[in-house]
Amino acid sequence: MAVLLNEIQWSDPVLPVAHDAEWEAELKRRGARIMDVDRRVAPIRWLREAAYEAVSYVPVNLPERLYRIGNMVTAQENACRYCYGATRAYMKVLGYPESFIQQVERDTQMAELDDKERAYIAFCRSLARSRPRPAAAERAALLKGGYTQAQIGEIAFAISLGCLFNRITTLLACPPEKDFERMASGPLRGLLGFALPLMKKFAKGKPAEAPLDDAALAAGPFGVVVAPLAGLRAGNVMKAALDGAFQTGALSRSAKALMFAVVSRTMGCPHCDAAATRMLLDEGLDQAEIESALATLRCPRLAAGESGLLAWARDTVYYEPSAIQQRTRALGAEIGEAKLLEAIGIASLANATVRLAMLLA
């Protein structure tokens, strides 16, 4: 069984907050509650937008009830103290009884759920855990159980995005939102449940975007993975994150692509492996150099400050929170805060992208 909330070991924050008045004002304008993680990822535009989407995305094809349950079990499977606690608290604010939440997190048979809902939860746990990733048989089982292709795409996206957010907050060791957790369990819970939807109703939010088609989605980095989300705003979210991640930043494009390749190879994803390889070939590496880098987790082509990224990226796939936080802190001492924040974003996005690629299985 996945760990429970009080069983997760957690360290002190790995990186400091970075107050960005303009970004915080924009979050307020959108009706978002500014969380600790928002301030820690503020320096990188694509990363802060991805973190915002992870908590604000509204599914089109899934009932909110299932979506919230999926968020919680994903955070639980990833042993993310920050997300697990916040999502659990949010469910209580929305009116879910403590008894129901405990039954979900203990993965017990529940009379409140039908077979279709139980299959959904099992799939969420399997994809979040990815030991191994769900494949064609699991997708076929969901179709047979009554889920549509669009619903399966949105389920895979939601869990993948949750895994991205779980890793961001875990690798940063964001302090749990204890005040929110306490309020969700106290006498103000009902007031919060009334106020949060009201705030969203009157907020301006982000400008509406038309969902991109498969050709537009396929045009960018790892487009083959994103293309199955055509017609869903989920595709726009993943494409924006991937496009932003591979633009100029503190890390070289080769280092980012190699990190994706390491995560792909670790999780056994041929689609992401091939996409990362094409990118590396475009960067001037040959096939022998790529294979050597993946075998040794070292690449002479990378700058000295990037040499430790590959072994660390591998360890972000399966981890124990306090241990990976210690490793991340050590990496930061080597490469500095700016590179470390981008590395956290890239590793988190790679883990999400490889999980999403199960739609191609």
Q: Give the number of C-alpha atoms closer than 13 A to the C-alpha of residue 63, restricted to the C-beta side.
A: 7
Compute the distance between CA of residue 171 and CA of residue 168 in angstroms, rounded to an integer: 5
Per-residue confidence band for 198, with pLDDT thresholds at 50, 70 and 90:
very low
Give me the mean pLDDT over the 346-357 stretch: 98
pLDDT in tens, 89-114: 989 988 899 999 999 988 877 767 88
| Residue 225 contacts residue 56 (beta carbons within 8 Å) | no
Q: What pLDDT sits at residue 203? A: 46
Compute the distance between CA of residue 325 and CA of residue 56 in angstroms, rounded to an integer: 26
Q: Does the structure show a pLDDT above 80 at 85?
A: yes
Q: Does the structure show a pLDDT above 70 at 19?
A: yes
For the residues of 168-217, what is the DSSP string, one character each?
A: HHHHHTPPP-HHHHHHHHSTTHHHHHHHHHHHHHHS--SPP-PPP-HHHH
SS3 2: coil
Give me the mean pLDDT over the 187-215 stretch: 62
Could you give the percent of the chain with pLDDT greater than 90?
80
User: Is the backbone peptide bond immediately before 16 cis, with ω within 30 degrees of 0?
Assistant: no
DSSP H or E run through 361:
none
| Residue 76 contacts residue 121 (beta carbons within 8 Å) | no
For the residues of 257-322, what is the DSSP string, one character each?
A: HHHHHHHHHHHT-HHHHHHHHHHHHHTT--HHHHHHHHHHS--TTS-GGGTTHHHHHHHTTS--HH
Compute the distance between CA of residue 81 and CA of residue 87 in angstroms, rounded to an integer: 10
Per-residue confidence band for 183, with pLDDT thresholds at 50, 70 and 90:
confident
90-121 core/surface letters (b: 16 or more CB in 10 A; e: else) = bbbbbebeeebbebbbeeeeeeebeeebebbb
| Residue 174 contacts residue 325 (beta carbons within 8 Å) | no
Q: What pLDDT sits at residue 112? A: 77
Q: What pLDDT sits at residue 211? A: 92
Q: Does the structure show a pLDDT above 70 at 225?
A: yes
Q: What pLDDT sits at residue 205? A: 58
Give me the mean pLDDT over the 128-138 stretch: 92
